């Protein structure tokens, strides 16, 4: 980790902020913090310390993502890891979704990832190395919470983009790693900050501590692999779900039965 420069979007709070502190503590050369909220970014940068470099960024704007890349390169001369972590949830079922709901979910959760990939790949291609990490969601693998309908769909699209990118690069650029992270419920303000409001994820008894997720992603940086479930039971659920003769039988029980509202 000592020689790495790591860019983290959505790093003014939640997983991104916690991850910034973890990689700095492990000795990252530079930690580039990106988010829209300047004051919150400054607070996180102060906690991270001398390796931090805060860049106010709107991930829904391609030009803003490209400016983030340029400023990181100007400051540190290199980017080793690009982490697309910015995202937002929604509290609305399929039958209630509006065009604006779906557009919002796709813009912040999918297009922001694409903008990051396309911004940093010329640098990674020139160096023939790098690591692209996207923080997706278990809901992108199994959409078990109907109120997160469009968010689940967006994260499913993210998972497909990342797999397609990995297949695109594997022969030509074997040292450019492409990883997708799939947390479950994490104890952050994700739920209460969702479009149309929603239950606070921090109040859910099964929520994973944010520091635990950050440590898992830091481990992924040090030992890259294609996909990371931040809890082993999530991988077990995916295996059980997709091997079932009829997934409806799995959907009739927990955790599906407890996530209908």
The residues annotated as belonging to the active site are 151
Among residues 210, 216, 251, which one has the least CA distance to residue 231?
A: 216
- Alpha carbons 148 and 189: distance in angstroms, whole number: 15
- Going 217 to 218 to 219 to 224, the CA torsion angle's sign is positive
Residue from 37, 3, 31 nearest 214 by CA = 31
Q: Which tokens in the block code for residue 155?
A: 């994260």
Query: Rounded to 5 degrees, what angle do the CA atoms 30, 34, 36 make?
Result: 160
Query: Is 6 in contact with 33 (CB distance < 8 Å)?
Result: no
Alpha-carbon radius of gyration of the chain: 18
Beta bridge partners of 83: 8, 133
Q: DSSP for 79-126? A: --EEEE-----B-B-GGG--HHHHHHHHIIIIIHHHHHHHHHHHHHHH
Count other C-beta atoms under 10 Å from residue 118's C-beta. Answer: 13
Work out whether the CA dihedral 30, 213, 142, 185 comes out positive or negative: negative
Q: What is the largest CA-CA distance in the chain?
A: 54
């Amino acid at each position: 980790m000592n020689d790495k420069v790591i860019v983290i979007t959505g790093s003014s709070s939640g997983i991104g902020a916690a991850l910034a502190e973890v990689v700095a503590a492990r000795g990252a050369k530079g930690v580039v913090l990106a988010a829209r909220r300047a004051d919150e970014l400054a607070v996180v940068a102060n906690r991270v310390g001398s390796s931090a470099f805060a860049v106010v960024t709107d991930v829904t704007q391609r030009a803003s993502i490209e400016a983030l890349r340029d400023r990181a390169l100007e400051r540190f001369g290199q980017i080793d890891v690009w982490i697309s972590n910015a995202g937002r949830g929604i509290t609305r079922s399929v039958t209630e979704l509006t065009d604006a709901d779906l557009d919002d979910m796709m813009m912040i959760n999918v297009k922001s990832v694409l903008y990051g990939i396309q911004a940093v790949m010329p640098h990674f291609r020139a160096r023939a190395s790098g690591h692209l990490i996207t923080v997706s969601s278990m809901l992108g693998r199994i959409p078990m919470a109907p109120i997160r309908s469009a968010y689940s769909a967006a994260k499913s699209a993210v998972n497909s983009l990342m797999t397609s990118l990995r297949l695109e690069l594997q022969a030509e650029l074997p040292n450019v790693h492409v990883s997708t992270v799939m947390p479950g419920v994490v104890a952050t303000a994700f739920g209460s900050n969702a479009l149309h409001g929603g239950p606070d994820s921090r109040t859910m008894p099964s929520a994973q501590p944010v520091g635990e997720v950050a440590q898992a992603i830091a481990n992924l940086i040090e030992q890259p692999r294609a996909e990371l479930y931040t809890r082993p039971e999530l991988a077990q659920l995916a295996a059980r779900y997709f091997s079932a003769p009829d997934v409806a039988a799995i959907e009739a029980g927990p955790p599906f039965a407890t996530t209908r509202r």
